[in-house]
Amino acid sequence: MIFRPSHFTAVLLFALFVSIVFGITQRETPRRMFRYGAYCFALFVLSAIVLSWVMYFIAR
């Protein structure tokens, strides 16, 4: 059985793991780590959605 995520799931997994690393490496306290990680995750997901719509309209 092979795990084959959709493109959106792959983007979410990438955003999750990168946000965890950014939070841990860029902030000092656990509270600030969590907040920065959540902020990065939200920006990754938002930018992926916006860029996908931009590409959709360019392709039409």
Alpha-carbon span 20 to 43, nearest angstrom: 13
Give 38-57 pLDDT, tens digit per residue: 999 999 999 999 999 999 99
| Run of H or E including 43 | helix 30-59
Q: Flag whether pLDDT at 2 surpasses 90.
A: no
Buried b (16+ CB within 10 A) or exposed e, 23-50: beeeeeeeeebeebbeebbeebbeebee
Q: Is the pTM of this model over 0.75?
A: yes
Structural domain spans, the chain: 7-59
Above 90 in pLDDT, residue 20? yes
